[in-house]
Amino acid sequence: MASTTASAVDAPTRAETVRAKGRLYRGDLGMWSWVAHRITGVLTFFFLFVHVLDTALVRVSPNAYDTVIETYKHPVMILFELGLLAAVLFHAFNGIRVMLVDFWSEGTKYQKPMFWSVIVLWLVLMVPAAISMLTRAVTEIFGG
């Protein structure tokens, strides 16, 4: 009868299995991509939730709605808009990458290059958007 457990000869020695003292698992690109995808998804969800609530104010009290919209016109809110744009863009591009990894037979083979493509594409779109939005914020704060 065959045994399903490894014999002592096949087992790795203790020195092979112990990591260097003081080192923690820091993850790889796949883990950090997963974490960033979840965080940006939650942030986008909360934005949509707040957006539905503030839009619903128009039926309850048009004056309250106008007050909320005036709050959104403050130049500091441009920073929040920039953060929202960053989260939505990353979540969208990384979601496409996740779908390719899941449904394309070669997806796992090209997971890391696709992740770096997501980062490059995100930067190509975010840098000009950030410059434009921050220029607008500075102009509104200090005058043009």
**For residue 32, what pLDDT is reported?**
87
**For residue 84, what pLDDT is reported?**
95
Rounded distance between C-alpha atoms, residue 144 and residue 141, angstroms = 9
* Burial class of 124 by CB neighbour count within 10 A (0 to 12, 13 to 18, 19+): exposed
**For residue 1, what pLDDT is reported?**
53
| Beta carbons within 8 Å of 67's beta carbon, 6+ residues apart | none
Q: Can you give the residue ranges of every domain in the chain?
A: 29-143
**For residue 7, what pLDDT is reported?**
57
What share of residues in the chain are helix, strand, coil (percent, to 5)?
75, 0, 25
Residues of the chain short of pLDDT 50, as ranges, are: none
**For residue 11, what pLDDT is reported?**
55
Is the domain spanning 29-143 CATH 3.30.70.100? The answer is no
Burial code (b: 16+ CB inside 10 Å, e: under 16) for 89-106 equals: bbbebbeebbeebeeeee
| pTM, entire model | 0.75
**For residue 22, what pLDDT is reported?**
58
